[in-house]
A and B are shown apart, each in its own frame.
Chain A
Amino acid sequence: AQKVTQVQTEISVVEKEDVTLDCVYETRDTTYYLFWYKQPPSGELVFLIRRNSFDEQNEISGRYSWNFQKSTSSFNFTITASQVVDSAVYFCALSEAWGQNFVFGPGTRLSVLP
């Protein structure tokens, strides 16, 4: 069975600090996909990134970066120079090949204080 664990339940940082959200997953599939979603206080779920199991390249998008390590089954998310607008619940998720049968982690609530 697939499982996603998000190590931190809540994190609180001061604006401009860097913060890393940890995600550890379990799967028996050889082909799978990993995702990060953001849920701001308004409640909608916003897709951030998808990573394929066969592509271990790290990715950077502005202040966001993702580190995928198959050897440790981890897919960590770092926000550099955090801002108040980054305050949200962040979910890590895992799916089987072709995007079926998503499993979400319990979420990490990030609070960025001014």
Chain B
Amino acid sequence: NAGVTQTPKFQVLKTGQSMTLQCAQDMNHEYMSWYRQDPGMGLRLIHYSVGAGITDQGEVPNGYNVSRSTTEDFPLRLLSAAPSQTSVYFCAGTPGLATLVYEQFFGPGTRLTVL
């Protein structure tokens, strides 16, 4: 997984609870992204960051916040969990322009269930 770690691996929440999914990388990846994976829908981009202090919305950003205060960390916050947010969440890092390596390397994923 090229140095991308995610915690926790599993999480169960009740509707309305908030929580933060952690993502960290130690390979100096320039870009970082969060995806959710739902059956039959592939991976959909939630938010991404092209560097510390810079974030942007992806395809499905509603209900989620991100920040990137350091290059290494890119947490994803669920503000008020809803059953529709039950999914598997993947964090990914891309080395980027500095290394001319543009493929994404994924963390192991977090399986989230919202009751």
Contacts and interface: CB of A to CB of B under 8 A. Distances in A.
B97 interface: yes
Interface residues of A, number: 20
B106 A98 contact: no
A105 B42 contact: yes
Contacts of A43: 88, 108-109
A106 B1 contact: no
Given A44-B109, A45-B90, A100-B50, A95 B42 contact: no
A106 B102 contact: no
A41 to B, nearest CB: 13
Given A45-B109, A47-B103, A99-B104, 15 more contacts: A33-B102, A43-B88, A43-B108, A43-B109, A44-B106, A91-B42, A91-B43, A95-B102, A98-B97, A99-B96, A99-B103, A101-B45, A104-B42, A104-B43, A105-B42
B103 A98 contact: no
A101 B35 CA distance: 11
B109 to A, nearest CB: 6
Nearest to A4: B42
B74 interface: no
A102 B104 contact: yes
Q: Which 5 A-B pairs have the closest CB atoms?
A: A99-B102, A45-B106, A106-B42, A104-B43, A104-B42
Nearest to A6: B42
A24 to B, nearest CB: 14
Contacts of B106: 44-45
Contacts of B58: 101
Nearest to A44: B108
Interface in B1-50: 1, 31, 33, 35, 40-45, 48, 50
B108 A98 contact: no
B83 to A, nearest CB: 21
